[in-house]
Amino acid sequence: MASATEKFVISICEISVAPESQNAVCTLIARLYDSLVKSPTAHLDAALGALTHEEHSLGILAILSAKLHQLEVVDAGSGKRYYSVEVASLDKLLAQLDSFVRAGNMEHVRYAVDTYTEMIHRMAELLIHRKEAIRGISIVAKAVERIRTSETLLTPTHTDLCHLCLSAKSFQAAFPFLDIDITDLQKPSSQAAYDSKAFLLYYYYGGMIYAVFKKFKRASYFFEIAISTPASVISAIMVQAYKKYILVNLISNSGEPLVPKFTAPVLSRGLKTHAGAYQDLYHSYNSSVQSTLQATADKHRPIFERDDNYGLVKQCIKSLYIKNIKKLTKTFLTLSITDVANRVHLPTSAEAEKYLLKMIENGEIYAKINKKDDMVEFHDNPEKYNNPAMLAFIQQQEKICVAVNKKMSDMEREISVTPDYVSKVGSYSADDDIAKPSTSAGMTSISENL
């Protein structure tokens, strides 16, 4: 008698012969998946050898997913899941996953994109659990590259890539994806909505990666999206993102408010409630008094250390020195380095000189240091904005604005045919005394009710 895996392979091969048969294959997989999970690993490996990537990618996807599912163990007490696998078996499984991700027929796989996403997520969890995250980075990066239909499409697999990079402390593979602004979300193959947890974690992890490389403005943008995403309740991810949002904004001297103005009131109140120590630090920083900021940092140090944010707090303290030095450039044309140290409360003139040299190097101030007289001379920005590089920059920004405008127009057209919009317009039309609203008015009304 044929085993469950043999029957599965035969059925897959028979169905896949017919054109446009992928929906039928998905139905078959849903019906037989549990039997695959219960099948011996040797049978599953034999089944993989009988299928081809070009014609039977959905069947291979199901088998690889089942193999990963077999490794999952759920703790009876805590309900948490972990993975148990031998080294040799893991090496073989990773090789099979790598081969599938690189050679699989993605046109077929998109019929079961939820299964594909879950498979990659399980693999990432397995490697992170084993503290071998670096082994999965190249596989997941290729998985993201191949499954997305455009560069600006966000998938849950993006989140797994960022998580792996953070766990392995190897970040370069994430930047080609993080540096692209997202305009679309991957549509699940089921009727479910996009995974909100994966969305929030992508921007949280992305902000953390940018913060590691001291790209604080970009990090702030990512944390801002995480905390201002529309929601009816606050999540732990939002709270942690908010804490880091405050810190990176202080470090970059961006002058951003405590909470973005477009954040929902229920979230705004909740975020402030859960981050009192960080708000104290924010207000101490804005007092521009170094001793006050240091006292606040010392007072709440256990909280900052518990959140793994004390490193950022120390950078905030250094950032206040920079902020205060910048203030001096608006008041003085020349100043002795000793005066600079005294006015910003640095311990020595040598320390003040180090800050001045670093700020000049980074283009934060324009100044010239006279070592002989122990003086610093502040200058205005020498940029005249009349060179080819500046013209090229302006043209690039114009292209970005045109692209954003086009995307907004496309979104407006899509919204104008949604059931919510049509229903809203119909409710206005029913009343002869109320004029039919424009598309933009309808969009506003819908957004207010969501």
Residue 72 covered by a domain: yes
Residue 214 burial by CB count (10 A; 0-12/13-18/19+): exposed, middle or buried? exposed
Tell me, yes or no, whether 40 and 149 share the same domain.
yes
pTM of the full structure: 0.87
In degrees and rounded to multiples of 5, residue 82 shows phi and psi of -140, 180
Q: Are residues 15 and 47 in the same domain?
A: yes
| Cα angle for residues 206, 212, 214 (degrees, 5° grid) | 105
The answer to whether residues 315 and 372 belong to one domain is no
Q: Per DSSP, what are the bridge partners of residue 378? A: 367
Q: Which of these three, 166, 186, 215, is where a domain ends?
A: 166
Q: State how far the Cα of 36 lies from the Cα of 433, in Å rounded to an integer.
A: 63
For residue 426, the one-letter residue type is G
Structure tokens at 315: 């950078």
- When divided into structural domains, the chain yields a total of 4
Q: Residue type for 56, please?
A: H
Same structural domain, 203 and 284? yes
Domain-terminating residue out of 282, 307, 324: 324
pLDDT value for 18:
64
Q: Please check whether residues 25 and 142 belong to one and the same domain.
A: yes
Same domain, 276 and 341: no
pLDDT at 431: 53
- The last residue of a domain, from among 119, 146, 166: 166
In this structure, is residue 230 part of a structural domain? yes
Are residues 366 and 305 located together in one domain of the fold?
Answer: no
Number of neighbouring beta carbons within 10 Å of residue 230:
11
- Tell me, yes or no, whether 364 lies in a domain: yes
Q: Taking the C-alpha atoms of 100, 102, 105 and 109 in order, what is their torsion angle to the nearest 10 degrees?
A: 60
Inside any domain, residue 184: no
Contact yes or no for 290/345 (Cβ under 8 A): yes
Is 185 inside any structural domain? no
Distance from C-alpha of 164 to C-alpha of 151, rounded to nearest angstrom = 20
Whether residue 80 lies inside any domain: the answer is: yes
What is the C-alpha separation between 355 and 321, in angstroms, rounded? Answer: 8
User: What distance in Å separates the CA atoms of residue 436 and residue 447, rounded to the nearest whole number?
Assistant: 18
Q: Is residue 21 part of a domain?
A: yes
Each residue's pLDDT, cut to its tens digit, for the chain (450 residues) gives 468 888 899 988 888 666 578 888 999 999 999 999 999 999 999 999 999 999 999 999 999 999 999 988 776 676 677 778 888 889 999 999 999 999 999 999 999 999 999 999 999 999 999 999 999 999 999 999 999 999 999 999 999 999 999 999 999 999 999 999 998 899 887 766 788 999 999 999 999 999 999 999 999 999 999 999 988 888 999 999 999 999 999 999 877 778 888 888 888 888 888 999 999 999 999 999 999 999 999 999 999 999 999 999 999 999 999 999 999 999 999 999 999 999 999 999 999 999 999 999 989 999 999 988 899 999 988 888 888 988 899 999 999 899 889 988 988 888 888 888 888 777 765 554 444 444 444 434 333 333
Confidence at residue 397, expressed as pLDDT on a 0 to 100 scale: 92
* Residue 234 counted as domain residue: yes
Which residues in 175-305 belong to E strands, given as ranges? Answer: 184-185
Q: Say if residue 223 is in the same domain as residue 241.
A: yes
CATH number of the domain encompassing residue 372: 1.10.10.10
Which residue carries 């089944």 as its tokens?
47
pLDDT at position 428, please?
61
User: Would you give the distance in Å from CA 210 to the centre of its chain?
Assistant: 10
182 contacts 152 by C-beta, under 8 angstroms: yes
Q: What one-letter code names the amino acid at 144?
A: V
State the Cα–Cα distance between residues 166 and 306, nearest whole angstrom: 18
Give me the pLDDT at residue 92, please.
Answer: 93
CA distances (Å), origin 17, targets 27, 47, 241: 16, 17, 49
Place of tokens 């970009």: 218
Helix (H) or strand (E) holding 389: helix 388-416
User: Is 32 in the same domain as 91?
Assistant: yes
Pair (155, 248) in one structural domain: no
pLDDT at 361: 92
Which region, left, alpha or beta, applies to residue 374 given φ > 0 means left and ψ of -120 to 50 means alpha? left
My answer on whether 274 and 405 are in the same domain is no
Residues 355, 307 within the same domain: no
Residue 307 to residues 127, 215, 277: CA-CA distances in angstroms?
24, 20, 11
Q: Which residues pair with 377 in a beta bridge?
A: 334, 368
- Identify the pLDDT of residue 440: 44
Residue 315's pLDDT is what? 95
Give the pLDDT confidence score for residue 434 in this predicted structure. 46
Containing structural domain, residue 17: 1-166
